[in-house]
Amino acid sequence: MDAWEAILRARRELAQDLAGFDEEQWRHPTLCGQWDVEHVVAHLTAAASVGQWAWMRSIVLAGFRPAVHNERRLRDHLGTTPKDTLDRFRAVIDSTVAPTKDLPAYLGEVIVHGEDIRHPLGLPSSSDTEAVTEVAEFYVSRNFTVNSKTTAAGLAMRATDGPFRAGAGPEVAGPTLALVMAMAGRRSHLDQLTGDGVPRLAERLT
């Protein structure tokens, strides 16, 4: 799979969804703590705008605190209105800038944050199984932007809608996207998962 192609496609699909949002939807809470929809979109714009050296400078100036770095970059790309924020996001849809070569991680960022927006609003996900499987395989193998490998450790993760299989232990089964969201630290999709390992997984997400 071409990871960049999948990243750009995921951005385009999210932008299409956002184009029809009203003011209430833009202010709706997401799965990202205190961030509303506009904040998450600004964060994705920042992620598509920061290359290796700019990222290193930013994280150093933030005292190696990722949360501070993320908040500062978000504010840099937050528009004066939701339309302005969306226009800024559209401007970087085709960007192939990333801090590292770990493209499955950045694909995961778009997919997970897209779901962070869509799920609370009851909107269907547009992510295809091949792309989400790429993210699942990366997440189960490494702690990178999220502690996904640690979250999945000691569990047999099995997708019911695709080829993803990983780990050994009590089973956690369900849609690939639900597994990815759980490995990304979200409790929102636990009700889509089944198996003896779900209680252990849920404990890790408290």
Strand order in the sheet with 165-166: 165-166, 156-159, 171-174
The angle, 0 to 180 degrees and rounded to 10, between the axes of the packed helices 103-121 and 3-18 is 20
Pairwise pLDDT comparison (49 vs 96), residue with the higher score: 96
**Model pLDDT, residue 179:** 98
Average pLDDT over residues 2-8: 96
pLDDT band at 126 (very low <50, low <70, confident <90, very high): confident
Q: What is the pLDDT of residues 156-190, one digit of tens each?
A: 999 999 999 999 999 999 999 999 999 999 999 99
Structural domains of the chain, with CATH: 3-121 (1.20.120.450), 129-204 (3.30.1050)
Smallest Cα–Cα separation from 117: which of 3, 6, 10, 9?
A: 10
Q: What is the pLDDT of residues 44-73, one digit of tens each?
A: 998 898 766 566 665 555 565 667 666 777
Tell how far CA 201 is from the center of its chain.
19
Number of H helices, E strands in the chain: 11, 3
